[in-house]
Structure formats: structure tokens, C-alpha cells
Amino acid sequence: MADEAVNTLTIKQISGRSIYSLGFLVMLVLGICVATYIYLTQLSQQQMTVSVDNLTLTEQLARSGSDLQVLEGKMTVAALLRSDDALEQGSTRLTEHLSIMADLMDSLLEVTADGRYEITKVAGFVNEIFSDISSEVEDIADSLLDGSSVKSLTENYARLNQDIREFNKGLEQLEKLQIKVIGLQQQKKLLDQIYFGGAAVLLMFVLLFMYMGFRWSNKLESSLQQLRLSIEQGIKGDFSEVKVDAKDKIAETTLLYNSMVEKYKDAIVGDAERETTQENLIGFLEVVSEAADGDLTMKAPVTADAFGSIADAYNLMIESLSELLNDTKHNANNVGEQSRKLIGIFQEMEMGAETQSGQVAQATAMVNQSENAARDITEKAALAQQTSNLVDEVTARGNNLVNDNIEGMQLIRVTVQVINKKMKSLSERLLEIGTISQLISEIATRTTILAMNASIEASRAGEQGRGFLVISDEIKRLADKSAEATKQIGGVIKSIQTEANEVTSSLEEETQTVEVQSKLVQDTGESFSAIQEAISQSKSVITEITALSKKQFEMTHDVESVMQKVSEISQVTLQQIKDSAEITTGLTEQSAELLSSVETFRLSED
């Protein structure tokens, strides 16, 4: 602990280093600003010099243009006076002056080549006009030297004067642009001065901040020095009160320490007890200091003196606080984990609710289709019931005819002697029986078709139509038997007709044939009875199917209403899930904040 105390930096040292670092950065920035200001000032001065040189050259060209007009006028006067010597001198001076102006023009073009675009453009325009002026002046001078009259050169003089006016206008425009550039450069220089003046003011504020930082660090160091002095006095056994001049939190801590020392000073007896108490106090203060920094793993040593009970109470408090923080951390982790799981569940529930809404809509459409199918089944069942009633009536009539046929056979057996007389009547009856047999065959065929239709409708009805499917198969089987019996009746009728033709030849054979026919007719009657019974059962089943189809239609309608309510409930559930997800997200954020607060404490691993 002593080595750590020696190597620990004081607040003054930390503040001093921070302020020195800040000062170094400020001086570095200040140096960069000063260097930039010097560079910009020199650059501005160079640009100002160039602009002044441009303006000077422009003014010299303007004066040279005026001098050129004077020389040209003198040469014209010499030509009018017919003075060859004066004309030659004027031509020489004019040529020299044009050479001087050409040098000035070249200098101007060279200076303005890297300048602003407008100035370069105007300078080029002035140079072109100057070239035209030089050519025209040389042409006029040569013509005058060759003896041409001034009057013959009127057009040349007119072009020359026009070019000179344009040359002067170009120089005036160039001069205005250069004056404008000089003004802009002066404004830029002023702005640079304002900018760097602001930087200087900012530097003053930074220096003031550094000064205030030094003062604050000195005050803080003074308060810490007083607190450290009081602790060192306590370690040495000097429990006198330390005077506190500052009024900050550290000074308040020093006053609390003085009060504590004053309270326990009388209880310390002897040098050994005092030394032990001081050591225990230092150890306790170190533990409290670590706890204040967030480290709750250290425990205060329990001694036999007055600090033992305090240390014991402190340890119990730290253990309780550690358990509370561990529980809080564990609960916060659990809450965060459960919240994240709940968010995932809510997201899945939200997706499931949306899927359920879509499936409910599809189920509603399917229920509507089922309702339409149930309505069709009801109509088909009613039609099947009507057909069954018709078949029942026809079968009853056929059964009656078969009974009559049986009675006739018995009468034939009793009165064999009158068979020949009744032959014609029997043939007619056989024809009627054939017609009825044909009718029965058609009825059996229709019954088979109805049974097939009933099977199809039962298959469409699903689970509820499975029982009716078995009954329809049974009806089809009985109809097939009826058709087979009808075919047998046709064969019997043919046999009866054949035997009737042979009755006269062999009564014995006729008698046997009558017995056989009686038995067959009896079997036919039994078949008709079975058909009638099956048709009665079919009527009962069709009646039940009609009732069930009506009930199914009503249930389908009720299911449709329920599906609509389910759809509404699904929408409400989806909204509640979204609200719950938002609440859970907020709970997760709060648990994260709680964990962040708890993480500032260092807890024991157990």
C-alpha cells in the first residue's frame, strides 16, 4: 500500500499534466495560426504588389497612347507642311514610341497571365487593338513618307482614331478591374486580421481557463493535503483537530474525520491500544475506500477493540449488499433474458396471428363453399326422397302383380284341365308380366344410378356421409339383384310361353312346368318384398340425410358466424401482441440500464 501511495499521482499533478498538455496543444495551434497568418500576409502583399504593378503599367500605356496621338498629329502636320526632315524625324520617333509601348504591352501580358480571368481577357483584347494600331500607324507613316497626301489617307486616319478610342476604353476597363481586385485584396486582408484577432481572443480565454484550472487544482490539492495531514496525524498518534480552510466536499470529509477522531479519542487507552486502533482504523478506512470505489469483495478485519463491532456490522452490511446486488444482477439478467425470449415469442405470435388471420379468411371462404355444398346436398336429398317414393309405389304394384301371378299358378295347378282354354289369357298375362319386368328393370337401373349419385354425394359430405355411403352401396347391390331377378323373370316368361305351347301335348310336362314356374314366381315375390323393404330403408336413410343436411347447413352457417368472430378476436389479439412486444422491449432496456448500474460494483465470485 505504501508503494502504491508513493507511485500514485496527485490531483495537482494530474491537473497540471492535463493543463500542460492543453497548453501545448494551444501553443501548437497558435503557432500554426501565426505561420498561416504570416504566409497569408506575405501572399496578400505579393498579390497587392502585382496588382499595383498592373495598375502602373496600365496607366503608363494610357499615357503612351496619348503621346502616340501627339506624335501622330505632329507627323500629320509635317506632311501637310511638306517638311521631309520633320516627317522623317516624326516617323523615327513614332517607331521608337511604338517599340516602347510594345514592351509595356508585353510586360502587362506577362504580369496578367496568372491573374484573374477577366483581367487576362481584357489585356488580350487591348493587345489585339494595340497590334492593329501599330499596323495602321506604320502604314500611315510609310504612306506619308512615300508622298501620299493626308486627304488620301482619311480612311486610315478614321480607323486609327477608332482603334485608339477602343484602346483607351480597354485600358479604362482594365484599370477599373485592377482597382476592384485591389479593393478585394484589402477586404481579404481585413478579414484575415479579424479572423486572427478572434483566434487571439480565443487564446486569451484558453489561457484564462488554464489559470482557473490551476487555481481549482491548487484548492483541491489544499483540501486533500488537509485530509491527508489529518490521517497522517492519526497514524502517528496525534489526534488533535486539523483546521480546515476550504469549503468543498473533501473539506467536509476532513471535518467528519475530525469528529470521528474526537469521538473515539477518549476511548483509546495506552500507546499499544492507540497504535492497534490506528492500524485497525487505517485498515477499515482502506476497506471503506475500496467499497466507495465499488469493490465489495474486501472485508474489514474484525478485532477485539471498539472497531470490531463496527467491522462486523460493516461486513454484514457488505454481505447483505453483495447478496442484494447479486440477486439484482441475477434478476436483471433473468429479466433481460426472459424479455428477449418474450420478444421472440411475441414476434412469433405476431407472425402466427397474422398467419391465423389469413387462415381464418381462407377457412371462412371454405365454410361458405361448404354452406353452398350443404344446400346442394339438401336439394339432392329431397330429390332422392321423391324418387324413392316413386320406386316404392312401383315396387308395391309389382309385388301385387307377383302375388296375383302366384294365385294364378295355384289355380292353374288345381285346374290343369282348363289350361288350354286359359292359354290365350295366360299369354296376355305373360306379355303384361314382361312389360312389368321391363319396368322393374328400368327402375332397378335408375335405382343403381341414384345409388351411385348418393355415393358421390356421401363422399363429398365427408365424415358425415360415410354411413350413407354404406347404405347406398347396399341399395346398389339390391338394385343389381333386382335387375338380375328381372332378367330371370324374362327367362321364366319365355319358358312359360314355350311350355304353354307344349301344354296340349304333354299335361304332365305342363304340370311340372307349372310347379317350376310357381316356385320361380314365389321367389320373384320374395325378391320384390326384399326390394320393397330395401326401398323403405332407403327412404328412411334419405329422410335422415335430408335432416342431417339441413342440420349441416345450419351448423355451417353458425360456423361462418363463429369464424367472423374469430377473425375479429385475431385482429384484437394481434394488436395486443404488438403492445406487449413494445412493453417487453421497454422492460429489456430498463434491465440493461439496471445491469449497467450494478456492473459498477465489484462483487465476490461466490
Which pLDDT belongs to residue 600? 58
Provide mean pLDDT across the span 440-445: 75
Q: What's the pLDDT at 277?
A: 66
What's the pLDDT at 604? 58
- How many separate domains does the chain show? 2
The answer on 538 and 395 residing in a single domain is yes
Dump pLDDT digits (tens) for 557-585: 777 677 677 777 767 776 767 776 677 67
Better-predicted residue by pLDDT, 10 or 577: 577
Q: What local confidence, expressed as pLDDT, does residue 2 receive?
A: 37
Q: Which residue has the higher pLDDT, 462 or 73?
A: 73
Q: Which of the pair, 8 or 95, is modelled with greater confidence?
A: 95
Q: What is the pLDDT of residue 5?
A: 40
Please say if the pLDDT value at position 8 is more than 60: no
Does residue 285 lie in a domain region?
A: no
* Average pLDDT of span 72-98: 77
Residue 202 lies in a domain: yes
Q: Cα(393)–Cα(382) distance, rounded to whole angstroms?
A: 17
pLDDT at 126 over 70: yes
Of 173, 190, 218, the residue at which a domain comes to its end is 218
Q: Output the pLDDT for position 83.
A: 73
Once rounded to an integer, what is the mean pLDDT over residues 251-268?
Answer: 63
Indicate whether 267 belongs to any domain. Answer: no
- Alpha helix ranges (H) inside 81-153: 84-112, 117-145
Question: Tell me, what's the pLDDT at 10?
Answer: 55
What are the phi and psi torsion angles at 150 (to 5°)?
-65, -35
Q: 131 or 90, which is more confident?
A: 131
Instruction: Name the pLDDT band for 76 (thresholds 50, 70, 90).
Output: confident
Q: Would 605 be classed as within a structural domain?
A: no
Contact 30, 244 (CB under 8 A): no
- Nearest CA among 408, 402, 365 for reference residue 567: 365
For a pLDDT cut of 90, what percent of the chain falls above it? 0
Q: What is the CATH number of the domain that holds 394?
A: 1.10.287
Tell me how far apart the alpha carbons of residues 236 and 226 are, in angstroms, rounded to a whole number: 15
Report if residue 279 sits inside a domain.
no
- Asked whether residue 68 carries a pLDDT value surpassing 60, the answer given is yes
What pLDDT was estimated at residue 7? 47
> In the structure grid, which three cell numbers stand for residue 215, read together?
487555481
Instruction: Name the residue with higher pLDDT: 245 or 202.
Output: 202
CATH number at residue 127: 1.20.1440.210
User: In sequence order, which residues have a C-beta less than 8 Å from that of residue 117 and are 6 or more positions away?
Assistant: none
Tell me what pLDDT residue 441 has: 73
- pLDDT, position 421: 61
Calculate the average pLDDT of the chain: 70
pLDDT at 524: 74
pTM tops 0.75: no
Q: Which of 154-163, 286-295, 356-365, 560-569 has the highest average model confidence (pLDDT)?
A: 154-163
Residue 210 lies in a domain: yes
Q: Is residue 233 part of a domain?
A: no
Which amino acid, residue 221? E
The answer on 358 and 212 residing in a single domain is: no
- Across 100-125, average pLDDT: 77
Residue 338 lies in a domain: no
Distances (CA, A) of 441 to 164, 449, 485: 134, 12, 9
Residue 284: pLDDT band with limits 50, 70, 90: low
pLDDT at 419: 56
User: From residue 181, how far is each of 113, 176, 332, 561 by CA, in Å?
Assistant: 15, 9, 71, 88
394-440: pLDDT as tens digits? 777 766 776 776 776 666 666 655 655 666 666 666 677 777 777 77
Average pLDDT (214-222) is 63
Does position 3 have pLDDT exceeding 50, yes or no? no
Identify the domain boundary among 149, 184, 218: 218
- Band (137; pLDDT cuts 50, 70, 90): confident
**Cα dihedral sign for 575, 576, 578, 579?**
positive
d(CA 509, CA 503): 7
- C-alpha to C-alpha distance for 474 and 482, rounded to whole angstroms: 12
Mean of pLDDT values over 373-400: 71
**Higher confidence at residue 269 or residue 491?**
491
- Please compute the mean of the pLDDT values over residues 472-493 and round it to a whole number: 74
pLDDT digits (tens, 9 = 90+) for 188-201: 767 766 766 776 67
Residue 295 φ then ψ, to 5°: -95, 105
The arithmetic mean of pLDDT across residues 327-331, rounded, is 68
Secondary element (H or E) of residue 604:
none
Residues 6+ apart with CB under 8 A from 237: 271, 274, 275, 278
Domain region containing 580: 352-594
Confidence of residue 243 (pLDDT cuts 50, 70, 90): low
Residue 1 has pLDDT above 50, yes or no: no
Integer CA distances (angstroms), 333 to 26, 296, 597, in order: 47, 20, 13
pLDDT at res. 6: 40
Residue 503 has pLDDT above 60, yes or no: no
Cα(259)–Cα(271) distance, integer angstroms: 21
- End position of a domain, from candidates 191, 218, 245: 218
pLDDT at residue 59 tops 50: yes
| 446 has a pLDDT exceeding 70 | yes
305 by DSSP, 3-state: which?
Answer: coil
Secondary structure string (H, E, C) spanning 56-81: HHHHHHHHHHHHHHHHHHHHHHHHHC
Q: What percent of the chain has a predicted confidence (pLDDT) above 70?
A: 47
Report helix, strand or coil for 602.
strand
Contacts of 181 (CB under 8 A, 6+ apart): 51, 115, 116, 119
